[in-house]
Chains A and B, each alone.
Chain A
Amino acid sequence: MGLLERAVAALARLAGALGAVATVCCLLLVGYAVGMRYLLGQPEPWTDKVAGWLVVALVMLAAPETQRRFEHIGVDIAVKRVGPRLARAAHLLGVLSVALVAAVLLAAGWEMVEFSRMIGVMTDLEGVPQWWIQALMPVGAALLLVVALCQALLLVIGREPAYLPKPEDDVLARDPLARAE
């Protein structure tokens, strides 16, 4: 069990790191586009498109690691006020709902990629088929599914998944900038 959890964690962290790479690429790309436009007077319209794809990449790749750390926000005051058994049930419901969403996205993503490949849908960028970008969705969803199922399994057998929120945790337990409101 410990081995499974560590393997899933390693996979999620790797994907999360790749998502972070996508963020850095986004930054460099936007910087490059501004530089080309103002310093060389040569706009590069393709950069807008690619930056949008990098956002898809960073979301899909980092969502599993975000789930592993229980960082997807919800309303936690109810869970914090009930006893440990009810809290465990609420957490289980939470991770199972994530697993269900992930399964739906995996199926929908798979279907989408198949359709785009069959029809030959292309992006606005010459030579780039749509499914290259779309494939990020089933990949991310599959990983999210694995992470959530692993968390559910641990909760069911009475173990505690890593990063499980505790009633005494406060807002300082996370980075201050993690709440975008």
Chain B
Amino acid sequence: QVTMRLSHQFPPSHHNARVIAAFAEDVAERSGGQVRVQVFPAEQLAKAGENFPGVARGAFEAAAAVNFQWGTTIPEMNVVTIPYMFTDYPRIARFPGSEAAQFLEGLLERRAVKNLMWLYTTRMSIFTSNRRPIVSLEDFRGLKIRGLNSLTDHALSAVGAAPSAMPGPEVAPALQSGVLDAGLTDVSAAVSRRYYEIQKFGTVAPYFTVMSHVYVNPRWWNGLTAQQRGFIEAAARKAEQDQLKVTEDTAAAAVGELRAKGMTIHEQTPAESATWKAAMQQPVVDAFFRLAPEGGRRSIELLNAIPAA
């Protein structure tokens, strides 16, 4: 009997956490209890930043991360989070197993961890505000907005906004007191953080995609029997597929709930998306290439090669 301890930062109610919990049960079932996945959600076992060294050096066997957490250590991992680069659902559904995914998995392997599965997290962001909705690019001018990370913040600066990094719990009071004029978050996070209580307007846009993934310690993985690896792999492939639908459903439900709670929601039209893309994508791509001169171009090529149908 083997145990795989899996550490992640999502709260148990998060849609990624639910799929990971189901994955753990699936593995137990498939293996008849021979392989046990013990999940530690919400940073119970290790902080988000300690997951990678913890797994790479064998403190525990597995962890989940959000793609952009690899920051400048593996800058190529940011590729899906470039604004309007990879937000069509049919292409996202083909990402697991694609050459682009394999390319990133190779980079992870060079950093001493083996990728196990890709968990699609979001492609729908919401720009929230109180005074007036954020629809045209001019609406960004002079706006103090919550940033996400230094790479994608280039998009916001490019349209005249002033992004500032802020930990999650501080955002709501900052929005309420006017320290921030606008919020930027995942649609389902807007529900769980009760943005509808403090923000009147929301623009839902396919702004960027966030992919989470689960990786394991390669030495531990190679020490498993082929049969044990088979149980885990099979459950992982199923989790990847299940996650696609769960995330899409969660996002759709979230938009409905924000409306029901009284927020005025504007869903971005394709024409508006094209306008935003034209202004916001290139500055991020430029910064992305600075961080990853070779791998950056390669990862974009491979991503673009994933067909829409």
Contacts and interface: CB of A to CB of B under 8 A. Distances in A.
Interface of A: 37, 41-43, 45-46, 48, 112, 115-116, 119-127, 130
Contact of B112 (A41, A112, A119, A130): A119
B192 interface: no
A171 B290 CA distance: 56
B64 to A, nearest CB: 18
A126 B72 contact: yes
A119 B291 contact: no
A85 to B, nearest CB: 43
Considering residues A48, A116, A124, which has the most beta carbons from chain B within 10 angstroms of its beta carbon?
A124
A119 B56 contact: yes
B72 A123 contact: yes
Contacts of A122: 71-73
A74 to B, nearest CB: 27
Interface of B: 52-53, 56-57, 71-73, 111-112, 142, 144, 147, 149-150, 153, 162-165, 290-291
Nearest to A127: B72
A46 B72 CA distance: 14
A45 B53 contact: no
Given A37-B164, A45-B147, A120 B53 contact: no
14 contacts: A42-B162, A43-B163, A45-B153, A119-B56, A119-B73, A119-B112, A120-B111, A121-B111, A123-B72, A125-B150, A126-B72, A126-B150, A126-B291, A130-B73
A173 to B, nearest CB: 38
A58 to B, nearest CB: 20
> 3 closest pairs, A vs B, by CB?
A43-B164, A122-B72, A45-B165
A125 B165 CA distance: 13
B157 to A, nearest CB: 10
Report whether over half of chain A's contact residues are helix, strand or loop; otherwise say mixed.
Answer: loop
Contact of B149 (A48, A121, A124): A124
A121 B73 contact: yes
Contacts of B73: 119-122, 130
Contacts of B147: 45
A124 B162 contact: no
A130 B70 CA distance: 12
A126 B289 CA distance: 13
Contact of B57 (A41, A115, A120, A127): A115
Nearest to B69: A124
B53 A48 contact: no
B162 A41 contact: yes
A48 B290 CA distance: 23
A115 B53 contact: yes
A45 B162 CA distance: 11
Contacts of A116: 53
A43 B162 contact: yes
Given A115-B56, A126-B72, 16 more contacts: A41-B142, A41-B144, A43-B162, A43-B163, A43-B164, A45-B147, A45-B150, A45-B163, A48-B165, A116-B53, A119-B73, A122-B73, A123-B71, A123-B72, A124-B72, A125-B72
A39 to B, nearest CB: 13
B71 A124 contact: yes
